[in-house]
Amino acid sequence: MAGQALTASEIDDPVLRQISVNPPTGRFGFAVTDREATFGVQIFIDAPDQPPDEWRVVPMEFIRYEADVALDVDSVNIGATTAMASAIEHWPGCVPRSQTVIGSTEGNDQWVVFCGIPEGTVSGWVDAHSGEFTPSKAPPAIVPAIATPTS
């Protein structure tokens, strides 16, 4: 899918910067920019079997990547399922929320994983090459209540 996303971006000399996975919905997202990171698009895919001509390609409103940071999917040894399994092993019973693999300049690409536990949403990082898991030291985040009309 990553190769197809680069093609779908319609950017000359495209660079893959990030892949996002939403386990509850099965959706994927790709961030692709030009080599200098001056222009980029986000590509949203609703399901792994969705044809590329149905993908949504949306220009990025701002670029948050440095030109020398890229994601080399061929060097990523740990997949999305394994990355989330590390979080579930650390927080038994956590409910997967989302995960993103991000490139780096030093070659230490990592997955950022989020899952829900009774106390709130927790996160951690998984080295995309070794699989080493590091939980965040932040306390669980509580999602704010959403107001609903009474009438």
pLDDT along the chain (151 residues), means of 10: 92 93 91 92 94 94 79 87 94 93 82 94 93 93 71 59
**pTM score, two decimals?**
0.80
CA-only gyration radius of the chain, Å: 17
* 18, 100 Cβ separation under 8 angstroms: yes
Rounded to the nearest 5 degrees, what angle is found at the Cα of 5, between the Cα atoms of 105 and 65? 30
- Number of Cβ atoms within 10 Å of the Cβ of 26: 13
